[in-house]
Structure formats: structure tokens, C-alpha cells
Amino acid sequence: MAERCFPTHHIPLPLFLCFPTLLLTPATPPPTPTPVVHPNTFAPQSSRGQSLQHGQSGTLPHFLEEPDDAYIVKSNPIKLCCRARPALQIFFKCNGEWVHQSQHLSQEHTDQVTGLKIREVMINVSRQQVEDFHGPEDYWCLCVAWSHLGTSKSRKATVRIAYLRKNFEQDPQGKEVPIKGMIVLHCRPPEGVPVAEVEWLKNEEPLGSDGIIDTRADHNLIISEARLSDSGNYTCLASNIVAKRRSATATVVVFVNGGWSSWADWSPCNVRCGRGIQKRSRTCTNPAPLNGGTFCEGMTVQKSTCSALCPVDGGWSEWSDWSVCSAECERQRSRECTAPEPKHGGLLCDGATLDTDNCTGDLCTQNRKLLHDAKPQGVEDSGDVALYSGLAAGVVTVVVLIVAVTLYRRSRSQYGVDVIDSSALTGGFQSFSFKTAHQGNPLLINSSLPPDLTVSHTFTSPMCLQDSISDKEIMAEHSLLDPLPNLKTKGPVERAEYHQAKAHPQTFPRGLAPDYSGVGVEATLGRRNKSLFAPQAPSTPPRPQHRIAGVFDHAGGRLVVPNTGVSLLVPHGGIADDTTWEMYMIINQEDSSPQSEDGHEILLSPEVTYGPPGLGLSCPVAMTIPQCAEVAADNWSIRLKRQKQDGTWEEVMSVEEESSACYCLLEAQCCHLLLERPGRYALLGEPLNQEAAKRLRLAVFGSPDLANPLGYNLRVYCLDDTPHAFQEVALRERGRGGRLLEEPKTLLFRANTFSLQVSIQDVPQFLWSIKPFTTCQEFSFSQVWASSQRPLQCAFSLERYSPASSTLSCKISVRQVKGQEQILQVYTSVVESEKAVVPFFTQSDCTITSQTGSRAFKIPLSIRQRICATFDTANAKGKDWQLLAQKLCIDRNLCYFARQQSPSAVILSLWEAQHQDPGDLDSLASALEEIGKLHSSKNTTLGSSREELDTEFN
């Protein structure tokens, strides 16, 4: 508009000389400034000449261009233009006042078609002029054009200062909506002149309309039916001629709630005969929960009782009567397999259905002679010889049996009295009461505020081997057990191997430090010990491995990874005589995991490997590994898995089912396994409902901020409740110089898909400051649930206002949304000189990593042999290994023990794995004493004589 106006130079003349008629018109006052006219406009000529010069005298000015509304952007002035025909003069009038002639720029030319004069006028309006105007309406301007006939006025053009404020009146808010739900995002742009136009962005790209997405006139975004593709970050973009403004980003999550699939077919009954259990399962995959959708409610596995028809073996009926003697001097009789008939896969009758016999007496003749006359002469003599031979054989058999019974009685008496009926039970297993004064956790910094120890316990007893056998020495000194009459026992060589107290976690005893991962191992049998491991270039795993090795022989022994809860028991006699094996254990910590990709199964224990692969033992080893599942209720389906050579994992057994391949005894905090195949094992669990929970260990550490002398850092760890996981955190904090500020606590984290929140509370505001927006931090459900034994950490950075503030007190709240909460109370000194160096592990004697011989076992070898001799063979009183297992609370999956060469020995190995702490022999003694009382009807005291016990045993 302004570009069409062209400035020219003008000669000012008095207005009354140009327009004498204007003086007579009171309605149109003359302008204050002297009008500017072209020098050629008025020349001395007649009125007719003037009419021809300017066109028809009866035409009023007609505006070819009127001023338009304009906006001043920043400090740039705007231009208003007018163009009229015919026009002798044009002036602007703004806010009721004439604009001074000096502010007008005009140009004049003649229309070639009509010959009429066309005049163009332009003025500039500055920001200052608009701001200085204070009126009831906006700043306005119009044009007034003159001709011989009169004047014409243009439209009013408003001039406003353009702007766009920064803050939106209403930002869109993020939301979570179910699939096919409605999404409504509200947006009210900032105030501005002119009014801002609104555009929606999704993930920084302009959002188009496809029929489902609708942008209303009120700037709201409406998606009538949400799809998964509609998830994203939405931004409201407002713009006018001044600027563009972006709203806060609204995150829209379209989630899918899980739905159950159809039930699978029922599994076969788990027993071949009688009453059993069958199962069917379903999965939460119809659809699977996505983007935080809720997990399916209900059971994934359904169990039902079933009855399997027992096979019925066939039985013979009674023989029929003999048939009439035939001409061949034979008679026959028959029977049928109908008493009962074989059913349901039962066995057929064994034997013949038809019996044939020669006829005797006078009923049949042969060659026309009576049958008794046709008998050979030697028949009678041969019958007498057979009779005498049978009698002699019977006498010899009786004599052999008598000798065998005598020898058997004598051999049984060599083992002394019957263990379960003798006073050796109480004599050999003395009862002890171990009471020690409570001592504070040396991990804690000395503080005047004691920690809250009422909620949960801490790892105050990591698994360690004790280099003491005082309990077994007492047992060996008892008069009823020492000496054992005629009991020949090969004395094992006792050996113990140690870790140096300051050794690196990967240091091996006796200089054994090869890399066991993926190394082929060949067994070496003989009288000399030889290394079974080929040297290999060391690898650098992302997380350090814990490895322990030891050399074992016929005496057996034990391997323990200190402070991890992982151990391996090699039973006595498991390795053949004159044979040694170099065995090892590894806690694997590679990134690979046996967890399922769909997230249904999670890792509940560390992955533990024992070997070598070529290990050959005559009985299973007992391995103990910690686990973090809350197994008080039947909310889990727990499986033991083993890694195959190709790296994949195979299921070995389900904990709740019986198996003859291995044995699994699940306890509250650990799992004891009886294994026969070396390899890499791990426990995995699948929650059956939302009440399933795993235990989390919560610990808070603190250390000064090295970059800020007034700063102090708090680090809160949430990790699986296993000693191995806590040891990893402790070693990490030791490298940082961190201190444990509060006794670790336990939190039950349930499978309800809700996140875990960690917040700091009650920080003294006048003494300490904390970075804004860091007081509350959150872990998603998947991060915590599938952590795979890796610790989760969040940090709080604090700064004291004055160096005089030497103590810090606050609370750390750890809670699961709609779940359990734990409070960690922190009260510590932050002055470095006031702190004492404290160890990370409470037991200073956790240095023994392997033991062999009698030192590795709680039960002395002589007692163990007596128990096995007593219970491995059933007798008339029912004192067999099944009763022993029942009294030791190991009475499930008995089919596994039944296939062992010595069931009692395997049961005792499992008991040894359960009771690794000193002073636990009382439980075994109590169980044997209870068995003795249960089967003793004559002896009422424990001081029975050897003869009485022998009598009852026999």
C-alpha cells in the first residue's frame, strides 16, 4: 500500500486562493496547515478552462484507494495511503485533527482514459504517536478529498501497536487414555494484537486432520477415537505478525489394558494311577498390556484334581477239570486270564492257558498193555534218587541260611547300638545355647539417634565357613561314641583354603586364577592333583565375577563365596578313592539373562556355575543360592533353569512339582538344590497374580561432595534382597568413600504395575539447601521388577549454608504407589575428621573359601555312617529313610531320594546345606530322639543299655 505512494516536492499556497468556496462552507473548516498544491494546478484562465482541465465539474471525488487498518510492529512506523479521482487536494485527519501538511507526501497524474486528475497522498504514523494518544477508541485516520463540487471522506483506518504475550492463558495438559478413548487437549493462546492463530504440533511436526483429529475454532484438539499411533508429544503453537509462542509440551499416552487369552487345554494328570493334579494356563496377551496398561486380574495357572485309572494286571482263573483221557494216554485242562481281566494297560497273565498230562492208572492202555505194566524198569529207582537228592539240598540250604543270619547279626553289632534307640543320640548331639550380646552394625556411623530396627533385618550373617569344630570335638569325646567297635573309617585329609582379608574379589586361593568361562575341562583321575583348566586370555566382563576354587578328594568338602549366600557341598564319598577334582564356583554377572523377553519371568537369584563340566560323582552335590521372592503365599510359579551349550536356557524343574532329575528345597531367603550335572543354574519366577511380591533391600549411603566443600551427597539404593546384590553395592560405595547411614530395610514390591518413588523429607531448611526438583525421584515398574540383580540408585545433592553445620538429619521415604512404604532415618556427621573408617561386612572371619574333610561338615563321619546304616534298610518297625526325611521336614519329592544309592546320605547332605551356622546340631538330634521315642515301647529313658537297644533294634 505504501509502495504505491510516491513523494514529490510541492509549493505551499494559501488555501483560500485555491478553493474560495471553502470559506463559505461552515461544515468543512479549513485545515490549519497551508495546503500544498501543485504549481501547475491553478493558472490564469477562464472557469470553462478550469472545468476542462479538471474534468466534469459535477463529479465528487471518488476514492480509488482508502487507508487500511495497520499494526505497528516493534518501533517500525506504518504508512497510510489515499488515492482519489478527481481530486484537487487530499488531506489526512487523525483522531479528529488535521495532519500537518509537512507530514503529507503526495503525487498527481492524469488518467489517460478519462482525462481526470488522480491524486495520491501518504503519511507515516509512528509508535510514539499511537502511544501518546489517549482516547476512548483506537488511534484512527481518514482521508478528505476536494473537488469543484465538494468533498468526500474515506473509511476510518485504525492503527494499533502489535504484540503477543509470552505466557499461554491455558497450556495443554498431558494425559493417559485407553485405546479407542477420546483425547481432548485444551489450548488458549497468549493475548495479542492481532489475535494469534493456533497450530498444533505432534512430535515437532505439524498435525494434519484425517477425520479422527479435529481442531476446533476454540483452538482445542479433539481426537474422537484414540489409536496407539496417537501417543506422542503435543505442542500448541500460537503466532501473529509479531512473534511465535510455544506452549508446554503435553505427553499423550494411549495405553492398552491387558486381556486374558483363552485357557489352554488341560495337561495330562501328573500321576499314572490314582488321584493327582492337572493344570491349564492362560496368558495376558489378548491383548498384552502396553504403555502402562493394567495387568490382567486373576490366575495365570488353574489347577484341578484328576483321577487316573490304575492299570489292572490280568490274573488266571481256576483250572478246569481234567478232560477224559485220550487214545494217546493224555488228558488236558485249561484256564483263562479273567480273574481279573487286564485293564487300562495292565499286564497280561504270565503262563500257559492249556495244561497237558499223561494218564495213569487202568484208564488207558498203550500197545494193548496196562500203562503200569509198560513202565520201564528204572523208573522206580530214579524216583528214589530224586527224593534223596532234594532232601540233601534242603539241609544244605538251611545250614547256609543259619550261617548268613549269624554273620549278618555280627556285622550289624559292629556298628554299635541302633542310633535311633540309643543314648548315643543325646550323648553324641549335645544341646548348646548360644547367646551373644547385641552389637551394633559396624557399617553404621556412630550417631546419637539409633536406627529403626523394628521393620526388617539386615545381612548380619553372610554365609561364611567357620574354622572351628568345637561341637564335633564334644561329640567325638562322648563315651558312647568313642571308640566305635570295629568301625573302619579311612581318615580324610583335612584342608582349608583362605582368602586374604584385603584381596580383590577375583583373587583365588592357592594361586588358582584362570578364567573358567567357556573353558573346556578334562577330568584327571589318579593319585596326583593336576589342573583341569587350560589357560586362556582373560576377558573383561561388564561386571566383576565372583569365583572360588578348591581341590577335593574322597573326603568331600565345601566351597563358599564369602558374603554372597552362595555355597556348594560335596558329600563324603561322592568322589572315588584315590581321585581328586579341582572344583570351582562362579557367580555370573554378564548382561545376558535367562529372563523371558515378554517380561513374564524375572530373575530371582544370581546365576551360579559350578564345575568342571566333566565332573563325575557318585552322589549329588548340594548347592545353596539366595533368592528374593516372597514365597509365603502361592503367588509365584518358580522354575529352575540351566544354560545349554548353545547359550539358551532349558527348564530343569518346577519348584512346586516333583522331579527325579534334581531336588529343590525353597526357603524364605534361599534355595537348596541337589544337582548331579555341573553347569550354570538360576531361579526364575512368574507372578500368578498382582499379590506376588519380591523383596527389595533399601540402603542409604553418604559421602562429601568433592567438588563442593559445603556439599554432601546421599545415595539411595534399591536392590534385590540377596547378600550378593548388597555386596556389589558395598564394594561400589567403598570405592567412592561412602558410608552406610542407616540399617538397610526390606520393602515388598508387588506385581501391580505401579512405580517406586524415592523422596527426601524433613531437611532442615535453615541449615541445608537441596537442588530444586530433585526431592522426589521415581523408578518405573519395569525398571524395578526386571532389575536382574542390578541395583537401582538415585542421588540427592545437599549443601549446607555454613561450615558450622556439622550434622545432617532427614528422612528418606521409599514407597510403591498403592503399596508398601519404608522410612530410612538419616542422622550423621558430615565433618570428615569425625568419621571413623568402618568395614562393609560385619564378620571379620569370612576368609575361608573352601574346606575339605571333617571340618567341612557338621555331622561327624561316624554318626553319619550309623544313621545311613540304620535308615537305608527298612525293618519291621518302619524305621527307614522316609521317616528320617519326614522328621527333618524334607518329606516332599521323595521319588528323588528313592532312586539314590543311599537315600539317607543324600537327605543328610541336604540337611548340612540347610544348617551351615554353628550350633545347629540340636535340630538333628531332636529329630532322631523323636524317632527313638516313637518306636520305643519298652525303654522309657535315654540311658538304655546296649543289650536292650540291640534287642529292640533286632
Would you state the pLDDT for residue 821?
94
* 233 or 598, greater pLDDT: 233
Query: If we measure between CA atoms, which residue out of 553, 589, 586 comes closest to residue 572?
Result: 553
Would you state the pLDDT for residue 382?
52
Q: Which three cell numbers stand for residue 764?
A: 532442615
**Reported confidence tier of residue 917, pLDDT bands at 50, 70, 90:** low
**Reported confidence tier of residue 2, pLDDT bands at 50, 70, 90:** very low
Element spanning 428, H or E: helix 424-428
Distance in angstroms (rounded) separating the CA atoms of residues 504 and 948: 59
Looking at the DSSP assignment, which residues form a beta bridge with residue 682?
641
- Lowest mean pLDDT: which of 457-466, 548-557, 718-727, 873-882? 457-466
- Lowest mean pLDDT: which of 281-290, 411-420, 477-486? 477-486
* Share in percent of the chain as helix, strand, coil (round to 5): 20, 30, 50
Would you state the pLDDT for residue 645?
87
Element spanning 145, H or E: strand 139-146
With beta carbons less than 8 A apart as the criterion, state whether 887 and 907 touch. Answer: no
Would you state the pLDDT for residue 178?
93
Distance in angstroms (rounded) separating the CA atoms of residues 534 and 511: 15
pLDDT digits (tens, 9 = 90+) for 51-60: 444 444 468 8
Burial of residue 346, with CB atoms counted within 10 A of its CB: 0-12 exposed, 13-18 middle, 19 or more buried = middle
Give, rounded to a whole angstrom, the gap between the first and last alpha carbons of the chain: 127
Residue 751 has pLDDT above 60, yes or no: yes
Q: What is the DSSP letter of 444?
A: B
Rounded mean pLDDT, 229-245? 91
Q: Which residues does 9 contact at the CB level (< 8 Å), separation at least 6?
A: none
Residue 519 has pLDDT above 70, yes or no: no
Would you state the pLDDT for residue 217?
67
Distance in angstroms (rounded) separating the CA atoms of residues 621 and 611: 11
Rounded mean pLDDT, 701-706? 91
Distance in angstroms (rounded) separating the CA atoms of residues 827 and 121: 83
Residue 380 has pLDDT above 60, yes or no: no
Residue 565 has pLDDT above 70, yes or no: yes
Would you state the pLDDT for residue 21?
34
Rounded mean pLDDT, 167-179? 92
Query: If we measure between CA atoms, which residue out of 579, 630, 570, 585 comes closest to residue 604?
Result: 630
Highest mean pLDDT among 129-133, 509-513, 591-595, 849-853: 129-133
* 671 or 922, greater pLDDT: 671
Rounded mean pLDDT, 396-424? 63
With beta carbons less than 8 A apart as the criterion, state whether 651 and 641 touch. Answer: yes
Specify whether the backbone of 877 is left (phi greater than 0), alpha (psi in -120 to 50) or beta.
alpha
Distance in angstroms (rounded) separating the CA atoms of residues 270 and 278: 6
- Lowest mean pLDDT: which of 201-210, 442-451, 796-805? 442-451
Question: Nearest 5 degrees, angle CA 390-CA 393-CA 399?
Answer: 145
Distance in angstroms (rounded) separating the CA atoms of residues 2 and 6: 8
Q: Which three cell numbers stand for residue 385?
A: 534218587
Q: Which residues does 549 contact at the CB level (< 8 Å), separation at least 6?
A: 508, 509, 510, 512, 559, 582, 583, 584, 585, 850
With beta carbons less than 8 A apart as the criterion, state whether 545 and 586 touch. Answer: yes
With beta carbons less than 8 A apart as the criterion, state whether 139 and 104 touch. Answer: no
Q: Which residues does 674 contact at the CB level (< 8 Å), separation at least 6?
A: 620, 621, 622, 662, 663, 664, 896, 906, 909, 910
Rounded mean pLDDT, 252-256? 93
Question: Nearest 5 degrees, angle CA 672-CA 674-CA 679?
Answer: 100
Residue 600 has pLDDT above 90, yes or no: no
Q: What are phi and psi of 773, to 5 degrees?
A: 65, 20
Rounded mean pLDDT, 311-318? 88
pLDDT digits (tens, 9 = 90+) for 261-291: 999 999 888 887 777 888 999 999 999 898 8
* 18 or 92, greater pLDDT: 92
Would you state the pLDDT for residue 832?
63
Residue with cell 550350633: 919
**Reported confidence tier of residue 367, pLDDT bands at 50, 70, 90:** low
With beta carbons less than 8 A apart as the criterion, state whether 31 and 89 touch. Answer: no
Would you state the pLDDT for residue 489?
37
* 490 or 62, greater pLDDT: 62
Would you state the pLDDT for residue 409?
67
Residue 770 has pLDDT above 50, yes or no: yes
pLDDT digits (tens, 9 = 90+) for 842-886: 443 456 788 888 888 888 988 888 888 888 876 645 567 888 888
Across the chain, what does the average pLDDT equal? 75
Per DSSP, the three-state class of 66 is coil
Distance in angstroms (rounded) separating the CA atoms of residues 700 and 721: 15
- Lowest mean pLDDT: which of 81-95, 356-370, 938-952? 938-952
